[in-house]
Amino acid sequence: MARPERLIHTEYSEIMEKSYIDYAMSVIISRAIPDIRDGLKPVQRRTLYDMHTLGLRSDRPYRKSARIVGDTMGKYHPHGDSSIYDALVVMAQDFKKEMPLVDGHGNFGSIEGDGAAAMRYTEARLEKITEEAFLKDLDKDVVDFVPNFDETEKEPEVLPVRIPNLLVNGAEGIAVGMATSIPPHNPGEVIDGVIAYMKNPDITTEEMMKIIKGPDFPTGGVVTNRSELLQIYSTGEGKIKIRGTIETEDLKNGRQQLVVTSIPYTMIGLNIGKFLSDTYALVENHITNDITDISDQSSKEGIRIVIELKKGADASAIKNLIYKKTRLQDTFGVNMLSVADKRPEIMGLVPIIRHHVDFQYEITSRKYKFLLKQAEDKKEIEEGLIKAVDCIDLIIEILRGSKTVKDAKECMTLGETKKIKFKSEKSRADAASLHFSDAQADAILQMRLSKLVGLELDELYKEYDKTCEDIMDYRDILENRSRMARVIIDDLNDLKKKVNTKRKTVITDEEDIVIEEKPIEEENVFVLIDRFGYGRVIDEATFERNKDAALSESRYVINCMNTDRIGVFSDTGRLHTIKVMDLPRGKFRDKGKPLDNLSDYNSSEERILFADSVSSLIKKKILFATKYGMIKAVDGHEFDVSKKSTAATKLMDGDSVIYTGDMENNATVIMKSDKNYYLRIESSSVPEKKKGAIGARGMKLTSGEELTDIYVLPNGEEMSVETENGHLHLDRLKISGRDTRGARHN
């Protein structure tokens, strides 16, 4: 009998809410946000553990990155190879990590934004510090192991990291509804901070910051808001102002050059290229004329960007201008979010260290419990061997008289003598009194005769004494918290000798740079836009000398002031505005720049219909006509907007603008359809509407018919167009009312 179906009625919004929360928490916990204990995201932890299981130690040969990525994906991280390789690459980049965890061999990218080579070309192995501070003691039950995604392997829930990696290497990650951004810090300072907390758990953030002075970025640079760091590190949130370093070098000919020797951490990658173009733009846009050349001479030795200056230029003023106008001065947003006790939480400096210290006590306690159990087991066996040596003749007699190993073991552990032949009843009675443990009996049965040599016996007694000492030591560590603290501190001091580096980032307080910009001298200029969508500016004298060529070769010639803006209308109904100052200025035959690069205009998706200066637009009424026959006039003041791109008109689905331009008073508007119907109307009959309106129907169209052309004819002027049967004089067409059919002219 078929099982009846059960319909469960529930609220759709409740299911969506629960599902989304589950998804969000999965991304937060299992993907994007690091664990506060080891400072690693799951993909980083799994990659390092996989390298550990593959035996890729620092003293062994490199292994192909593709092998590491494939093994990690197959065993622990089934989320695609690119995420694993990206994590591997970042952990090997010394310009991103204060303390790289992976030793990369091959092209692992550059500070200038070059990507790493494909994983089939690069090789990697663990750094020595990763073995010692991240993966050591995994075999001593210091952390829990959990099943992998398909329950065929075990992986550590967290790595037993012995230094606060969350602070040393920082973290960046975007989850659902939250993100983490933690700057890197100097390893030596962080270790000193941990030791200071262990000696004084009531230490304040202010006291801690005398030790951990602030971030220490791998790229160096200068932090310029030291006075705000206390608030940032108390709350775990804020903005750190960072600045690259510029040095002034004197040249032989009396000139000077500025040399950028360090960059902000936020400039890593393609932003170096943007810095070069932004500096070049200072000259191109006439903000300064004192820069003659800029070149990137960076190498493996470090950053070196040279900015050559004119003779007599004020190097200090140019330096301030570069800081103000480029990303050589930037901000690093701090949001110290991590997963603590399986919950995402924003913490300040001291709480992060507190969690780390608690974790150190936990893994140290688990380690010494494991070692104690191991030592106690060893002691038991050693006691059995010593006891066996004292009665070795009896043991040998038991072995010789036994038919099986099982019989001999039962005799040694239980005193069972019935199945064994003895030489005398005394031996049987002595054997019956033996009570070795199972482990002791196994060790005796496996004992070699060489153990009976005098020196070997002495060594056995020494090992036993050492094991007893170890047991006392381990118990003392486990029972005495102050003793355990000393063990952790001694361990940290040893690690500090291996990771301590000189601070790269300077922490200081500097006032914000204020640039007194010279007022722009207003000037009458001409903007030329050609049919390819390239724009440029020439001065009035250049235009007059090349007037005929300018008018014949340019699609739009706009006379305006250099402080004005240009409005560009497209067939998608958008208005794009461009500052005249942003257009390149030069000689008449200079090519200019694509408007795509100066605004949100996209030449591959839209077409320019009209362009004029904003100062001219506000004095006019602008006519819009669409292929579906909609028409309207808009007051030009509506286009005096600050946005780079905005809607100039509203369109119906599938419609597009076929005409935008001036609509003069006392003019007539002629509309032409693709079926050769012409309709001439007075401009006064065109309704004036807001830019957000669709407009009114200008011409009645049949099904599938579209407007193709619009002509604006001032009164008294003549105009004709070519048709299949000759010329049609538009000025002789009958003036009709709007929203009529018009007449056909083939």
CA–CA separation, 59 vs 554, rounded Å?
A: 68
**Nearest partner of 34 among 380, 252, 352, 294, judged by Cα:** 352
Q: Taking a C-beta distance cutoff of 8 angstroms, is the pair 248, 258 a contact?
A: yes
Terminal Cα-to-Cα distance of the chain (whole angstroms): 78
Alpha-helical segments (H) within 500-603: 540-545, 547-553
Burial class of 441 by CB neighbour count within 10 A (0 to 12, 13 to 18, 19+): buried
Count CB-CB contacts under 10 A for residue 707.
23
Three-class SS state of 674: coil
**Nearest partner of 37 among 157, 126, 158, judged by Cα:** 158
SS (H, E, C) 491-525: HHHHHHHHHCCCCCCEECECCCCCCCCCCCCCCEE
Left if phi > 0, otherwise alpha if psi is -120 to 50, otherwise beta: which for 31? alpha
Q: Which residue type occupies 197?
A: Y
> Using CA atoms in the order 109, 114, 120, 122, what is the torsion angle rounded to 10 degrees?
-20
Between β-strands 222-223 and 506-507, what pairing exists: parallel, antiparallel or unpaired? Answer: parallel
Helix, strand, coil shares, percent, the chain, to 5: 40, 25, 40
**Nearest partner of 268 among 221, 306, 324, judged by Cα:** 221
Residue 399 structure tokens = 């072995």
Q: Taking a C-beta distance cutoff of 8 angstroms, is the pair 676, 745 a contact?
A: yes
Residue 391 structure tokens = 């009665």
**Nearest partner of 634 among 654, 666, 659, judged by Cα:** 659
The torsion angles phi and psi of 302, rounded to 5 degrees, stand at 145, 180
> Using CA atoms in the order 501, 502, 504, 510, what is the torsion angle rounded to 10 degrees?
140
Catalytic residue, chosen from 121, 464, 556, 659, is: 121
Confirm whether 121 is a catalytic residue. yes
CA angle 469, 470, 473 (to 5 degrees): 90
Count CB-CB contacts under 10 A for residue 610.
20
Nearby residues of 398 by Cβ (< 8 Å), 6 or more positions away: 408, 411, 412, 420, 431
Q: Report the DSSP beta bridge partners of residue 677.
A: 744
Q: Report the DSSP beta bridge partners of residue 339.
A: 35, 344
CA–CA separation, 212 vs 190, rounded Å?
A: 6
Three-class SS state of 690: coil
**Nearest partner of 437 among 379, 478, 485, 482, judged by Cα:** 379
Chain mean position to CA 147: 29
Q: Taking a C-beta distance cutoff of 8 angstroms, is the pair 161, 488 a contact?
A: no
**So which residues are the catalytic ones?**
121
